[in-house]
Amino acid sequence: WDLRGQMLIGPYWRCYYANTQAMIDVVDSNNRDQLPIIKAELLATPSEDELKDAKLFFFENTQDQLNTLTLAQ
């Protein structure tokens, strides 16, 4: 399920969590404004019981651009 950018339905995301084995999060590494939103989402995710055993894969795209985020950021 692609849930990023659908903040209006955020409270209903848990409807998609049943039987989830992995989550993939792709971040635009050139868009620093989205970091607080992503951080809040990632911090809230482990509290969901259905996701406690799910693997998280985290990817940064646009690494070839200037002024992109570093892995530490």
2 part of a folded domain: no
14 part of a folded domain: no
**25 has binding-site annotation:** no
Q: Domain count of the chain?
A: 1
40 part of a folded domain: yes
**63 has binding-site annotation:** yes
User: Please, which residues bridge with residue 25 across strands?
Assistant: 58
30 part of a folded domain: yes
7 part of a folded domain: no
pLDDT tens profile 18-33:
888 888 888 888 777 8
33 part of a folded domain: yes
Which pTM does this prediction carry?
A: 0.62
Could you tell me which residue, 6 or 62, shows the higher pLDDT?
62
Structural domain range at position 61: 19-44+53-73
10 part of a folded domain: no
CA distance 58 to 27: 8
pLDDT tens profile 17-71:
888 888 888 888 877 788 788 788 777 766 677 888 888 888 888 777 777 777 6
**30 has binding-site annotation:** no
Contact indicator for 70, 35 with CB cutoff of 8 Å: no
